[in-house]
């Protein structure tokens, strides 16, 4: 019997196996394993491996896969358990697709097990085109959702990772897209500690993410892909991260091509490797051999990175007999299965946010005749957002409504206009489609206007071909002539329900002021149309909440390039938003009572337990998102107006009451000094539990159920 090399012996420790493999490879071979297209080592039977894979909201770019709502929509669920289920399903499909591809010798892009997901950057500005990929503007919501997602895709097996999660883009990165290869994001130490770092720390320390992707830009003068502050002092020394770091694609070559901090590829590669970037997405690490010859790096630098990368592959079971790897037995039949389709529908239903309702919703199925109109009514591209897979079938809003109405109900359809105002009449790109829509509207009893934007208008640099700013937006309004279409529909006097679809905030003021109802459905995934119809006709009681602030205008925002948090997000914004963070209405009504906190007077570093009774006082069963906000009333330094510190989504039957128990971590009571150091100071805090932020705008919009308690923090 042939005895396997020790690196293939699953009974040895990971470190022993990695060291055995290191000794068997030449320096050149080890360098090859530090590039995202790692070549095969045929003499050892190690196949080629491509590290680049995506699974933002389903296995991406790799053929057929279940497409869940875009990440921002998943954030709107405020449901960490649901997100964990979604991530688990994604991990199962990824494993099944990988093993089937490997069996057929397919080692190409998007067929591996190392996934460059999730994107947990903070949406400090709604103009950023990639905000759709994130969990919104709040560090605590982002942390909890990020932890749930990472745990879901990496799995819970003590021996093997299901997938490698790679949270990105570490750490201060949120546009502008056009400048991402060259700009320097200047952030104060307080903003770093308070806003830009906490969620990354959570996914590293709590969820034990195996990978981290560094950002393209510089942060406070240091390129993120070679930042000693971020990659060494913060990530490894302070947080104890033991995994690997990968550059964003082309990020290392930016050093000499755009940032101007090095002059040659060898210098760029050496700078990144020395400072903790282990894997290069791109070609620059092909110059590490020359950098070694020039004395810019040492063999130990190569070996350190090699060990981290091979540790990941070993933890994934790539060198183990398949029968010893639990995840290798996941059948290919899980891909695009009915169970995952049902989960996609449930996720989309949970993500929809009801922003306004004068009583028109839910609609009757036998309403008579309905007009479904707008550029998003029957568009499949708008269902998916970016970084998506390809579902075997999908349901648009039009298709969902047609399937949901009662027999005999007439469903009319007209696009009305396109997203842009280009003069392409064969696409209905300007107001030439409005007269036809009005002809149908006059013959209908209700109108569902599906408006918004699309992944062609917002997205990553180079992807959103209808963007005015390399993927970003220059305004928050509905694009093209959509407002003209909506105004004409409103003039008919028929009840108009507006369904907004986008990956970011919209200033749909006309809809807010005059429509009978408004709901936001994000980019809702393959079952989005079914979910939208479910809310419209009352099968689903909406409970989504906004994970971002909906501002009234870009005039309310600071300069896009300014990374200061002053006057940004609900925590620091001084104006009145159109719709606030955390807001969302329901078809039922909830009451809060008997808020109890323990202890009411606590010591620094002590967690606080909270209990609240929540009653469904309406006539429908429904979900409620309980949100807990903390306000520091006596801080001696700048602190947020208030901040989310706990939340839970719960289901409560009509007429029943549920007790909700939550914990507010001690760290939330700390203030952040100018140098970024957290400390506790004695004072009084207000702790508020309710279905929204405890502010006037939430009350004005109909979400006024809160209970408040006072807490005293001692010396």
Which positions are catalytic? 248, 458
Report yes or no: 279 and 307 within 8 Å, Cβ to Cβ.
no
> Distance between CA 3 and CA 515 in Å, rounded?
73
Q: Which two tokens stand for residue 247?
A: 């550059």
| Best CA proximity match to 60, nearest among 524, 493, 388 | 388
Residue among 614, 507, 533 nearest 352 (CA): 533
Token representation of residue 233: 């002092």
Measured in degrees and rounded to the nearest 5, phi and psi for residue 708 equal: -125, 140
Closest CA to 622 of 642, 664, 596, 651: 651
Helices vs. strands in the chain: H and E counts, helices first? 20, 25
Question: Distance between CA atoms of 671 and 604, rounded to whole angstroms?
Answer: 11
In the chain, how long is the greatest CA-to-CA distance? 84
Q: Tell me the CB-side half-sphere exposure of residue 293, using CA atoms within 13 A.
A: 7
Buried (b) or exposed (e) across 203-229, using 16+ Cβ within 10 A?
bbeebbbbbbbbbbbbbbebbbbbbeb
Residue in this structure with the two tokens 């190392």, named with its chain if needed: 114
- CB count, 10 Å around CB of 81? 12
CB-based burial label for 168 (10 Å; 0-12, 13-18, 19+): buried
Write out the H or E segment, with its range, that includes residue 343: helix 338-351
Cis preceding-peptide flag for 599 (omega within 30 of 0): yes
Classify 310 as helix, strand or coil.
helix
Q: How far apart are CA 333 and CA 659, in angstroms?
A: 40
Give the helix/strand (H/E) hosting 536.
helix 528-536
Taking each helix axis from N to C end, the angle separating 299-315 and 14-24, rounded to the nearest 10 degrees, works out to 130
- The answer to whether 683 and 639 have CB atoms below 8 angstroms apart is no
The CB density around residue 124, as the number of other CB atoms within 10 Å, is 26
The distance from CA 324 to its chain's CA centroid, rounded to whole angstroms, is 33
Can you tell me the distance from the alpha carbon of 416 to that of 56, in angstroms, rounded to the nearest whole number? 32
CA 168 to chain centre: 10
CB 587 within 8 A of CB 361: yes
Nearest-CA neighbor of 376 among 396, 354, 404, 348?
396
Kindly provide the residue ranges of all beta strands, DSSP E only, lying in 45-180, ordered along the sequence: 49-50, 114-115, 164-165
Distance CA 449, CA 442 (A): 14
Strand 218-219 and strand 222-223: the pairing is: antiparallel
Residue 690 pairs with which residues in a beta bridge?
627, 706
Question: If you write DSSP's letter for every residue of 569-637 in order, what string do you get?
Answer: HHHH--S--SB-TT--B-SS-EEEEEEEEE-SEE-TT--EEEEEEEEE-SSS-EEEEEEEEEEESS-SS
């Amino acid at each position: 019997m042939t005895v396997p090399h020790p690196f293939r012996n699953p009974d040895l420790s990971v470190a022993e196996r990695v060291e055995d493999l290191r000794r068997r490879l030449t320096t050149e071979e080890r360098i090859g394993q530090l590039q995202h297209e790692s070549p095969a080592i045929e003499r050892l039977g190690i196949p080629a491996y491509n590290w680049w894979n995506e699974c933002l909201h389903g296995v991406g770019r790799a053929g057929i896969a279940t497409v869940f709502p875009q990440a921002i929509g998943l954030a709107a669920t405020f449901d960490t358990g649901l997100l964990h289920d979604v991530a688990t399903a994604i991990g199962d499909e990824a494993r099944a697709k990988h093993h089937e591809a490997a069996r057929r010798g397919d080692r190409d892009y998007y067929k591996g097990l190392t996934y460059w997901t999730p994107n947990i950057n903070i949406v400090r500005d709604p103009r950023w085109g990639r905000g759709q990929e994130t969990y919104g503007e709040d560090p605590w919501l982002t942390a909890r959702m990020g932890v749930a997602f990472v745990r879901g895709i990496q799995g819970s097996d003590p021996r093997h990772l299901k997938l490698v999660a790679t949270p990105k883009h570490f750490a201060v990165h949120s546009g502008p897209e056009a400048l991402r290869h060259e700009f320097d994001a200047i952030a104060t130490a307080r903003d770093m500690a308070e806003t830009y770092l906490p969620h990354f720390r959570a996914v590293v320390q709590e969820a034990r993410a195996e990978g981290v992707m560094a950002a393209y830009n510089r942060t406070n003068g240091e390129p993120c892909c070679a930042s000693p502050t971020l990659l060494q002092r913060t990530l490894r020394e302070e947080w104890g991260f033991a995994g690997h770091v990968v550059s964003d694609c082309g990020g290392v070559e930016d050093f000499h091509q755009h940032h101007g901090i090095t002059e040659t590829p060898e210098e760029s590669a050496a700078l990144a490797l020395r400072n903790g970037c282990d894997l290069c997405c791109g070609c620059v690490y092909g110059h590490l051999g020359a950098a070694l010859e020039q004395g810019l790096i040492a063999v130990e630098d190569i070996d350190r990175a090699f060990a981290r990368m091979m540790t990941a592959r070993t933890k994934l079971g790539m060198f183990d007999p398949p029968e010893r790897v639990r995840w290798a037995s996941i059948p290919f039949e899980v891909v695009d299965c009915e169970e995952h389709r049902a989960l996609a529908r449930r996720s989309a239903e949970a993500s929809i946010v009801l922003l306004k309702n004068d009583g028109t919703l839910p609609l009757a199925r036998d309403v008579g005749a309905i007009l479904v109109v707008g550029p998003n009514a029957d568009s499949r591209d708008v269902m998916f957002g970016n970084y998506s897979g390809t579902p075997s079938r999908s349901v648009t809003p039009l298709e969902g409504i047609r399937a949901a109405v009662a027999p005999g109900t007439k469903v009319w359809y007209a696009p009305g206009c396109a997203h842009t105002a280009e003069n392409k009449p064969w696409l209905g790109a300007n107001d030439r489609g409005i007269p036809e829509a009005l002809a149908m509207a006059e013959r209908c009893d209700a109108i569902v206007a599906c408006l918004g934007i699309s992944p062609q208008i917002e997205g990553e640099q180079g992807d959103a071909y209808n963007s005015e700013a390399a993927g970003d937006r220059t305004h928050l309004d509905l694009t093209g002539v959509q407002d003209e279409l909506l105004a004409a529909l409103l003039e008919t006097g028929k009840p108009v329900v507006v369904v907004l679809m986008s990956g970011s905030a919209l200033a749909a003021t006309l809809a807010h002021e005059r429509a009978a109802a408004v709901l936001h459905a994000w980019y809702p995934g393959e079952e989005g149309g079914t979910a939208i119809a479910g809310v419209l006709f009352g099968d689903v009681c909406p409970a989504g909440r906004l994970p971002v602030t909906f501002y009234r205008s870009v005039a309310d925002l600071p300069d896009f390039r300014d990374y200061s948090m002053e006057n940004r997000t609900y925590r620091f914004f001084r104006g009145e938003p159109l719709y606030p963070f955390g807001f969302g209405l329901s078809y039922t009504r909830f009451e809060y009572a008997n808020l109890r906190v323990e202890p009411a007077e606590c010591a620094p570093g002590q967690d606080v337990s909270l209990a609240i009774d929540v009653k469904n006082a309406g006539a429908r069963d429904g979900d409620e998102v309980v949100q807990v906000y903390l306000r520091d009333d006596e801080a001696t330094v700048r602190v947020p107006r208030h901040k989310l510190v706990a939340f839970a989504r719960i289901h409560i039957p009509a007429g029943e009451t549920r007790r909700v128990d939550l914990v507010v971590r001690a760290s939330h009571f700390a203030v952040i000094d100018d140098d970024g150091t957290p400390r506790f100071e004695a004072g009084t805090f207000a702790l508020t539990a309710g279905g929204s932020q405890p502010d006037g705008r939430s009350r004005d919009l109909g979400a006024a159920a809160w209970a408040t308690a006072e807490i005293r923090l001692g010396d």
